[in-house]
């Protein structure tokens, strides 16, 4: 019978530590990823989402698609149903052409 009060005492003694361990884990809101941003309306002079500054987004066959040669430090990317010329250094949109 002495074991039950000792177990209860140990259990309740550890309760103040529970909020600290629970708060250390990231909540679902902190780790949630934002929605896709390439669906937003953009125009020349706007800043493109950062993902379009990456080299893996580059359209390499721009000439075959009838696009003009990219300017220095820029590349063509596909955003939805448009080809967009993005300056790599700052992400500014330099030109927009409909995709065929």
In angstroms, rounded to a whole number, what is the distance separating the alpha carbons of residues 81 and 37? 14
Higher pLDDT, 9 or 32: 9
At 17-48, the pLDDT tens digits run: 555 444 444 333 332 222 354 456 788 999 99
In the block, tokens 């074991």 appear at 3
At 51-89, the pLDDT tens digits run: 888 889 899 999 999 999 998 999 999 988 899 999 999
pLDDT at 29: 35
Degrees to nearest 5, angle at CA 22 with 18 and 27? 165
Tokens of 6: 């000792």
Is residue 74 within 8 Å of residue 91, measured between CB atoms? no
Is residue 57 within 8 Å of residue 38, measured between CB atoms? no
């Amino acid at each position: 019978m002495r074991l039950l009060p000792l177990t209860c005492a140990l259990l309740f003694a550890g309760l103040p530590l529970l909020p600290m361990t629970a708060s250390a884990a990231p909540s679902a809101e902190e780790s949630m990823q934002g929605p896709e941003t390439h669906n937003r309306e953009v125009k020349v002079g706007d800043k493109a989402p950062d993902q379009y500054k990456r080299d893996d987004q580059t359209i390499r066959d721009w000439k075959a698609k009838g696009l003009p040669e990219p300017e220095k430090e820029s590349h063509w990317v596909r955003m939805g149903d448009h080809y967009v010329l993005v300056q790599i250094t700052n992400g500014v949109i330099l030109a927009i052409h409909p995709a065929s």
